[in-house]
Structure 1
């Protein structure tokens, strides 16, 4: 449990205070049977009420002390566990933010959510229980055995002989149940994944009338979780009766031999009662062992899952490595924002030299021997069939992935040797998958540059051809968006994401098929605005109308660059480009004819 000790170190004062208070409470509890023995032997049997009142008062006073110590122990344990969970969750989230795409792809999104929430909460509960109860249970058992030996050696030995057997049983159960609970947590990942997919794709599910299918799929995953949980709990819960049987056997032995010792005058009634009392306290502690084993086994599994994330490599220059020095603090976030919006020093010259790429874990080459050069301020249109490698090519520019071979140069500098944060500060990226965040329209556009003024936000929106639409909304730029922009159309959402990229005033702008939902007129106006900007633009498109004015057109086919040049050059030299042009012209003519 090195992870727990590492992040609990900051709260060691509270943790130690909780253990001290628990120790005081335990010491009082273990002294009570001894006090009761004195009351029986020296007070009740001798009919001396002075002794009864004296030790009875001590017993009452000690109970008050134990009560106060228990409350303070709970307070300090709560403080330590809550602070521990806050720091761990914060550091874990920061670690995820530092992942490269390659590392991120190793974990399912649902699994990361479970680790950030359920697994951290499990460790939090374990820390509290360890400081308040888990540490107490073995101490109660050990202390009861020791005190029983102090009261009467022979009777105490009858209780002590049960300990080795209990330790063997508990060790085996802990090892076995930890493995089972790790399976349980992976099943939780699966259930969360199904829930996430269903809630995200609820429209599609309803349109295709697949509700019954999805309910059945969820039931299947939920059933697997139930079976795994039952298997794990069955093991821990069946150990409870076995443990109780062993301890109860010890108590029966104490009663049997206690009677013999009393008859022989080798033990008093008070001593026998005290030993039995300690035995009963041992039973009380042991009754919680099945619950403690389940909690601890879950914690071991959760710690392993969190450690898998924490031990994953970080991307060089990502948040969490170079950019952020203060873990989990507000200052760290402010530091990142400040760095993100420093004046970029990149001009926008991009050069690919024999670049090849395949996705991690795959032997299939997505890009092969790609070479081209783009000067600052030029527009590059990238065309090709589905799966030809267009999105993969542009994802290499901001180093979302690293090429397998070849060199990518930005302003003449090898991009692999550049700080990722410095490179990405100069890039505006509009992904193929539209993503808007909770908040107002203004906040979504300003997400690209938190320091943007109201005027800069409106200028970016105007360039993206969305300003008039926004001003027509009920509260204009302050209009709150639904989840993932559900109250906007596809074209409006695309233009919003383009405005978010433009407000950065990037040196390099990447539009990954980001005009597919725009009509020809709107797209034409957008391209005119982009022409006025000084940024180098990479535009993935399937429309010839978008490539006509491009400075360079790259035509990809199955990961290879089969042609490159201007519209005029490709019309002259590329049969495939001419075919695409003729096909789109015919479609346009047929559309016009059908509407007249």
Structure 2
């Protein structure tokens, strides 16, 4: 919790003011029983109305002071807690942005969302309540005990006789509550994960009529959340009845023995009233303890979960150099005996990969599913660090490049086209925020999407739904390519990004890309696309099976010839159908 609550430091003055105001409010509440005792003993019992009016007026004035202190305390407590929550959430998001792709695999997306939302809110609310009521409740109990001893030590002793038992009991309940509510937050993560998966795959769920199955799956994880939450709350609910039982027994003891003390003239009626008044204040504070302990337990569990993210030190993206790419060989890429193994796995995905691509050349990467094609591309912008060997860009190891400058030189089109909620203009400008409308339109023309955009009612101002839900697969792929081209990258990485395009559109796109002054690495399954490359890299189970031009591979690689023949056979029925 220390790391999370270190973000409180910038707001120490608002917190200090809130605490002072809370103490003023508390002091008024603790002094009131003494004034009541004085009014009873010196005013009512003596028949002196002057004392009654005098101290009654003092009580009214103190009540106004307490009201003002409480209202102002709420303002400063809100300011401190909301600002603290903002800073923690921003720090978490910034930390997540620095995660390497490998580190992301350790934290499920749903878990990160829960940490940035409900966990932050939980801790933020506890800070507010601490400044407003949570600290006030225990201080009221302690203050009431001290004031009771000042009024009458014998009766006060009867009031606190059960205190040692309560302290031990509350300690164990807090400890148990933290463990239970930590499990509740884990269950909440799982509910969020199932919900997220279902919403992302809603079309697939409907197409395969899996709505009932998904509902039952969600019901199972939701039921586990309900069960553990009920279990945690049930444990917490034990606190209040036991606290009230002990306090009520203590009050009965005070009344019983207090009456005897008054009869024997060892105590005054005002003193007994004051002690009972303090007892009632303590009882009222104790009724808050179950809520306080539950809130604290949940906040502690949430803080520990957030610290897991904030304290991640290994697995963050770090820069080692600020040198800029320069010269005519910008974009030259060389893999030198590269081997890569994903974290927490045993078998290498890529094994001893070596090849060289000069600036302006185009390399096609082919291979069966799982052969390591996409992984190879992800190593260039340093999404993962190589296990062995090195990747050289412009004569320098990628680990020596400043990440911003390395990635600024790269245009990446992932296998899955990802678009963001907003207009088409905004999605294209995501690749280069300072790009002009003319640059965006030129990139769209290169990507063969400009005409389609112009046909939309609002053109480039057409709003794209979440993940491009209102666009076709081919439109999303071409927008993703245009977004990369806007950057005018020296290195263009295309990860099977033309799979949804028809032959004519893909041919036009390839022709436009030929004019692009960039080194291109293109993952593809199509021989017709690979033929247009300067060289083809054929992967087989993580190894280089063949490397060379289309003609060279036809002569030297049995695997490549099999791929060519299989795709030629698939084309025959299509031609036959066309001729009918």
Q: Same fold (TM over 0.5)?
A: yes
Matching of residue 569 in structure 1 with residue 552 in structure 2: yes
Match of 2:489 in 1: 506
Match of 2:251 in 1: 251
Match of 2:534 in 1: 551
- Aligned-residue offset at 1:595: 2.7
Match of 2:264 in 1: 264
Match of 1:392 in 2: 375
Match of 1:21 in 2: 21
* Paired residues of 1:384 and 1:542 also in contact (CA < 8 A): yes
- Find the partner of 1:422 among 379, 401, 405: 405
Match of 2:50 in 1: 50
1:66-105 equivalences in 2 (<5 Å): 66-105=66-105
- Aligned-residue offset at 1:590: 1.8
Report SS of the residue matched to 1:40: helix
- Aligned-residue offset at 1:394: 0.7
Match of 2:226 in 1: 226
* Paired residues of 1:95 and 1:314 also in contact (CA < 8 A): no
Match of 1:335 in 2: none
Question: Deviations 1:280-314 (Å, cap 9, x if unpaired)?
Answer: 10000000111111100000000000000001136
- Find the partner of 1:440 among 416, 423, 430: 423
Alpha-carbon separation, structure 2, partners of 1:208 and 1:541: 29
**Poorly superposed stretches of 4+, deviation over 3 Å:** 314-318, 342-346
* Paired residues of 2:100 and 2:317 also in contact (CA < 8 A): no
Report SS of the residue matched to 1:66: helix
Match of 2:478 in 1: 495
Match of 1:65 in 2: 65
Alpha-carbon separation, structure 2, partners of 1:314 and 1:9: 26
Alpha-carbon separation, structure 2, partners of 1:534 and 1:115: 44
Structure 2 gap segments, 5+ residues each: none
Matching of residue 31 in structure 1 with residue 31 in structure 2: yes
Alpha-carbon separation, structure 1, partners of 2:558 and 2:102: 37
* Paired residues of 2:535 and 2:548 also in contact (CA < 8 A): yes
Report SS of the residue matched to 1:41: helix
Alpha-carbon separation, structure 1, partners of 2:417 and 2:291: 46
Alpha-carbon separation, structure 2, partners of 1:344 and 1:71: 62
- Aligned-residue offset at 1:344: 7.4
1:77-476 equivalences in 2 (<5 Å): 77-313=77-313, 347-476=330-459
* Paired residues of 1:511 and 1:538 also in contact (CA < 8 A): yes
- Aligned-residue offset at 1:317: 5.4
- Aligned-residue offset at 1:5: 3.2
* Paired residues of 1:240 and 1:287 also in contact (CA < 8 A): yes
* Paired residues of 2:103 and 2:316 also in contact (CA < 8 A): no
Alpha-carbon separation, structure 2, partners of 1:488 and 1:322: 41
* Paired residues of 1:434 and 1:493 also in contact (CA < 8 A): yes
Alpha-carbon separation, structure 1, partners of 2:303 and 2:163: 29
Report SS of the residue matched to 1:56: helix
Report SS of the residue matched to 1:528: helix
Alpha-carbon separation, structure 1, partners of 2:5 and 2:201: 41
- Aligned-residue offset at 1:348: 0.6
- Aligned-residue offset at 1:59: 0.9
- Aligned-residue offset at 1:4: 4.3
- Aligned-residue offset at 1:417: 2.1
* Paired residues of 2:361 and 2:520 also in contact (CA < 8 A): yes
CA spacing shift, 1:138–1:539, aligned 2, 3 Å = same
Report SS of the residue matched to 1:381: strand
Alpha-carbon separation, structure 1, partners of 2:492 and 2:466: 26
Question: Deviations 1:514-564 (Å, cap 9, x if unpaired)?
Answer: 000011111111111111111111100010000112111010111111110
Question: Deviations 1:160-213 (Å, cap 9, x if unpaired)?
Answer: 333222211111111111011010001111111111111111111111111100
Alpha-carbon separation, structure 2, partners of 1:140 and 1:561: 75
Structure 1 gap segments, 5+ residues each: 324-338
- Aligned-residue offset at 1:3: 3.1
* Paired residues of 2:4 and 2:307 also in contact (CA < 8 A): no
* Paired residues of 1:344 and 1:425 also in contact (CA < 8 A): no
Alpha-carbon separation, structure 1, partners of 2:325 and 2:122: 44
* Paired residues of 2:155 and 2:257 also in contact (CA < 8 A): yes
Report SS of the residue matched to 2:238: helix
Report SS of the residue matched to 1:406: strand
Alpha-carbon separation, structure 1, partners of 2:452 and 2:565: 34
Normalised to the residue count of structure 2, the TM-score between the two structures is 0.97
Alpha-carbon separation, structure 1, partners of 2:243 and 2:403: 57
* Paired residues of 2:364 and 2:533 also in contact (CA < 8 A): yes
Question: Deviations 1:378-418 (Å, cap 9, x if unpaired)?
Answer: 10100001111101111101111111111111111111222
Matching of residue 536 in structure 1 with residue 519 in structure 2: yes
- Aligned-residue offset at 1:475: 1.0
Alpha-carbon separation, structure 2, partners of 1:249 and 1:344: 83
State the superposition RMSD in angstroms. 1.5
CA spacing shift, 1:415–1:343, aligned 2, 3 Å = closer
Alpha-carbon separation, structure 2, partners of 1:228 and 1:202: 28
Alpha-carbon separation, structure 1, partners of 2:63 and 2:325: 68
* Paired residues of 1:344 and 1:426 also in contact (CA < 8 A): no
Alpha-carbon separation, structure 2, partners of 1:121 and 1:381: 49
